[in-house]
Amino acid sequence: MGRQPCCDKVGVKKGPWTPEEDLILVSYIQQHGPGNWRAVPTKTGLLRCSKSCRLRWANYLRPGIRRGNFTENEEKMIIHLQALLGNRWAAIASYLPERTDNDIKNYWNTHLKRKLKKLQGNESSSRYGFPSSSSSYQICRGQWERKLQTDIHMAKKDLSDALSPEKSSDLVEMKPLNDHTSYPKPSGYASSTENIAKLLKGWMRNNPWKMADSADYSEEGTVPMKEDKNSKEMAEAFQSHLGFESLDSSLSDISPSMSPETSLSQYESKPHLNAQSQLSLLEKWLFDEGKDYQLCDITLDQNLHFF
């Protein structure tokens, strides 16, 4: 017996979303918060299936998404994570909080895959300058796996700490780290989402499940601009909780601290603290390992072994 379709196919609209539909969806989520997608089409009158609504929100309308212009560091992270995790785009995306899995997947398929293949043809010219013997590759994988286990263990510990009663209240109040980076304006129809951004303005302010700092949501997809002393303190506390110093500036562009919107989305679909913890751990690992352990022995062409 076949699975029931997620929605009645009759009368369901398909294809690109119009600005009007976006506005309807955003206003609904503004009032009710994301989730219960099944109810969205009936409650909003949108002729879209629940999955389409969820996807539209998750990949496009959700605040805090950065689109296009992947930095070189992001590129490196994606390449390494893809080698490590395979095509688990959602998992990879959890390490790049501003990127959606769909975006990463598209970027991989359209840019990186080709790039790697090109480089494979030119084996001697490893862009990252790593050796490519198979033995070092095996050692490297083993090190990656051991390191991953350690990180998972640490992440679990973070989680259990976070869930302990005496700490949980602190964590609820923990604010995201803001670096006040402006997100680039989306392209294409996305520019129409300036309207959406305007609609979203004040959303966090009125939202019962809003995050701290939300009152400063600014126009056109930028993150809040106000420096909050408390958030700095919390950021420091957070980093000390993780047990290492601030990431260096090379990381800042791939890990710009999370905007309230991002935090919101993480509350929606990603484990906030744990994901952030793992993110930081992995970032540090990815960019330190190359120096300290020569762990990044995997050349780009070796990544091809994984797909």
Partner DNA sequence: AAGCCCCTCAACCGCATTGCG
Partner DNA sequence: TCGCAATGCGGTTGAGGGGCT
Residue 195 contacts DNA per CB under 7 A: no
Q: With contact defined as beta carbons under 8 Å apart, do 29 and 209 qualify?
A: no
Residue 101 contacts DNA per CB under 7 A: yes
Residue of 42, 72, 111, 150 that binds DNA (CB under 7 A): 111
Residue 34 burial class via C-beta count within 10 angstroms: exposed 0-12, middle 13-18, buried 19 and up = buried
Residue 133 contacts DNA per CB under 7 A: no
In angstroms, give the least distance from the CB of 184 to DNA: 12
Residue 118 contacts DNA per CB under 7 A: no
Considering only residues 217-246, where is the footprint of DNA by CB under 7 A? none
Residue of 267, 269, 271, 288 that binds DNA (CB under 7 A): 269
Q: With contact defined as beta carbons under 8 Å apart, do 175 and 234 qualify?
A: yes
Closest CA to 64 of 246, 244, 193: 193
Residue of 30, 32, 35, 159 that binds DNA (CB under 7 A): 35
| Phi (first) and psi of residue 131, to 5 degrees | -65, 160
In angstroms, give the least distance from the CB of 161 to DNA: 20
Q: With contact defined as beta carbons under 8 Å apart, do 258 and 276 qualify?
A: yes
In angstroms, give the least distance from the CB of 249 to DNA: 26
Candidate ranges 35-43, 71-79, 215-223, 232-240; the one touching DNA (CB under 7 A): 35-43
In angstroms, give the least distance from the CB of 192 to DNA: 11
Give the residue with the Cβ less far from DNA, 91 or 171: 91
Residue of 11, 16, 121, 129 that binds DNA (CB under 7 A): 16
Candidate ranges 102-110, 127-135, 209-217, 286-294; the one touching DNA (CB under 7 A): 102-110
Residue 11 contacts DNA per CB under 7 A: no
Give the total of residues touching DNA (CB under 7 A): 45
Residues 161, 163, 164: CA angle, nearest 5 degrees: 65
Considering only residues 71-100, where is the footprint of DNA by CB under 7 A? 87-91
Considering only residues 37-76, where is the footprint of DNA by CB under 7 A? 37-38, 48-52, 54-56, 58-60, 67-68
Residue 4 contacts DNA per CB under 7 A: yes
In angstroms, give the least distance from the CB of 20 to DNA: 12
Binding site for DNA (CB under 7 A): 3-4, 6, 13-17, 35-38, 48-52, 54-56, 58-60, 67-68, 87-91, 101-103, 105-107, 109-111, 187-190, 268-269
